[in-house]
């Protein structure tokens, strides 16, 4: 049985100033929103955050940006976060932007214990500056180092008390690979069921990758609502 926390503040109590965090989700889909709120309330500073994007101005990782809690952001998409843009242009925030596939593979490789890999993405662009390249079958490839983190914060649909996780639909984006790449993985789930309840073949993240669980509902906000006329 894993540690099951009674509150989100308890779940993030081990995270300190200067930590490196991986935060699951894509846009606002599948983000560990309650854990992020707890981090905002805690007020820790100097964080390096690895995530696809940085939420929106008033939700998700945007809350940490507003509080000036993020020192460096590693991601693949700036999105429509005006505060993100302002901090980058003013030099308050260090940003490392990567091709989305490269970001995903750097995280996957980190979770698999692979220190680096070669990719054609970014060759001949500023992304390749200062990085090693090598020819394979007449094509140039760029060496990219993998990513790991002190803590991974992920969002699951269901968890059992052993820490096995199931994600629902498109929330199964960066969450599974980040769960494997963090030294400590904290999983927020809509429900926590008894061990043995989940169908073994449906489990996306095995319990070996998860250290802490917390149950919590989500608001599930929509990043951009698009409706038809009539």
Determine the pLDDT at residue 223: 77
What DSSP state is assigned to residue 211?
A: -
Determine the pLDDT at residue 182: 98
CB < 8 Å & 24+ apart, contacts of 203-207: 203/164, 203/165, 203/166, 204/165, 204/166, 204/167, 204/172, 204/175, 204/176, 205/154, 205/156, 205/164, 205/165, 205/167, 205/175, 205/176, 205/179, 205/180, 206/164, 207/2, 207/160, 207/162, 207/163, 207/164
Determine the pLDDT at residue 63: 95
User: Angle at the Cα of 7 (from 17 to 172), degrees rounded to 5?
Assistant: 80
Determine the pLDDT at residue 92: 93
Q: Which of the residues in the chain have pLDDT under 50?
A: none
pLDDT digits (tens, 9 = 90+) for 76-105: 987 778 898 899 989 999 999 999 999 999
Determine the pLDDT at residue 87: 92
Q: Do the Cβ atoms of 64 and 36 come closer than 8 Å?
A: yes
Q: How far apart are CA 118 and CA 214, in angstroms?
A: 37
pTM of the model: 0.94
Q: How far apart are CA 59 and CA 52, in angstroms?
A: 15
Determine the pLDDT at residue 188: 98
């Amino acid at each position: 049985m894993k540690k099951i926390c009674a509150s989100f503040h308890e779940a993030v109590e081990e995270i300190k100033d200067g930590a490196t965090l991986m935060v699951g989700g894509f846009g606002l889909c599948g983000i560990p929103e309650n854990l992020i709120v707890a981090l905002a309330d805690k007020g820790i500073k100097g964080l390096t955050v690895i995530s696809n994007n940085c939420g929106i101005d008033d939700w998700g990782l945007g809350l940490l940006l507003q509080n000036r809690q993020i020192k460096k952001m590693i991601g693949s998409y700036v999105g429509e976060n005006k505060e993100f843009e302002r901090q980058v242009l003013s030099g308050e925030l260090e940003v490392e932007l990567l091709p989305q596939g490269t970001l995903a593979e750097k995280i996957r490789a980190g979770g698999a214990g692979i220190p680096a890999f070669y990719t054609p993405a970014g060759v001949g662009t500023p992304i390749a500056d200062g990085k090693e390249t090598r020819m394979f079958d007449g094509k140039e490839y760029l060496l990219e180092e993998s990513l790991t983190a002190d803590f991974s914060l992920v969002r699951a649909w269901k968890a059992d008390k052993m820490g096995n996780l199931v994600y629902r639909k498109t929330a199964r984006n960066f969450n599974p690979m980040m769960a494997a790449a963090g030294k400590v993985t904290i999983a927020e789930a809509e429900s926590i069921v008894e061990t043995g309840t989940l169908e073994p073949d449906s489990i996306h993240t095995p319990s070996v990758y998860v250290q802490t669980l917390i149950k919590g509902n989500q608001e599930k906000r929509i990043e951009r609502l698009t409706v038809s006329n009539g």
